[in-house]
Amino acid sequence: MEIIPAIDIIDGKCVRLTQGDFARKKVYNEKPLEVAMQFEDAGLKRLHLVDLDGEKAGKVKNCKVLATLARKTNLLIVFGGGIKSLADVQIVFDSGAGMAAVGSVAVKEEEKFLNWISIYGASKFLLGADVKDEKITVSGWQEQTELWVYDFIEDYVNRGITQIFCTDVGKDGLLEGPSVELYRNILSKFQHIHFIASGGVRSMDDIFILEGLGCKGVIIGKAIYEGRIDVQDLRKYGLQ
C-alpha cells in the first residue's frame, strides 16, 4: 500500500480544513516546498496537492506552487482543485503534475470529463468520489446528489478509469478514524481497481486496517501535521 501525504494550498500556504469548511482553516506551514521535501526525504513517492483557492474560484490558481514542487522534488504529484476546463487540465500537466484529480466535473459534466480522458488517457486521471451516506457530494461537499457511489465508480471503471480515491466527507479532518465499512463495501464490489482511502486517518493502526482491507493507497493530511503520525514511521511504505 502506498502512503500519499496531502498538501492543501490557500494563498500559497500549506493548510488543512475541517470537513471542507474554509472557516475552519489552520495554517501549518507557509512554505509548501519544505513540507514536500520532508515527505520526499522520508522516502514517500506520491503527493496529493489540492488547490483550495482554485476550488473556490472555479479555475486553477496555484499552478506556480505546483510547478515549484514538480521542479524541485521527484514526487509524483496528483493535483486537484479548480480543474473545470480543458485549459485547466493543460495548465496542470504543463506545470508538472503526473495526474489530475477530478471529482465534481466527472459527476456534473460527464461528457466533458470523457473528452479529457480521450485526449490525455484514463491513466492520467485520479477519480475522486466524495461521499456522504454512500451518495456522491460535489462542489466542495456543499451539494448532495442522489448518485450512489457504487454506480458512479462502476460507470467510470467501465470507461477505463483504474485509480479512484474516496473521501467520506463526514470523517475528513476530524481524526476520528476512516470509513472502514464504506471502503470494505466498495472493495468487495470492485476488487481490481487501484483504490485509495481518504479522510479520518488518525494513527498507524488506521493505516494497518486499511492495508488489511486491500486499499492500494491512503491519503493522509491532518494526522501528520498534528503529530499523530510520524513521517519517519511511514518510511517503510516508501521503500515498497
User: Residue 240 — very low, low, confident or very high, per pLDDT cuts 50/70/90?
Assistant: low
pTM, rounded to two decimals? 0.94
- Structural domain of residue 142, as residue ranges? 2-238
Residues recognised as catalytic: 8, 130
pLDDT at residue number 141: 67
Determine the pLDDT at residue 239.
53
Whichever domain contains 216, its CATH number is 3.20.20.70
110-133 mean pLDDT: 97
Q: If you search the block for the grid coordinates 524541485, which residue do you land on?
A: 72
Number of domains in the chain: 1
Beta strands in 71-201 (DSSP E): 76-80, 99-102, 125-132, 135-138, 143-148, 163-168, 194-198
Give 17's contacts (C-beta < 8 A, 6+ positions apart).
8, 24, 25, 52, 173
pLDDT tens, position by position, 147-167: 999 999 999 999 999 999 999
In order, the DSSP letters of 41-68 are: HTT--EEEEEEHHHHHHTS---HHHHHH
Name the pLDDT band for 16 (thresholds 50, 70, 90): confident
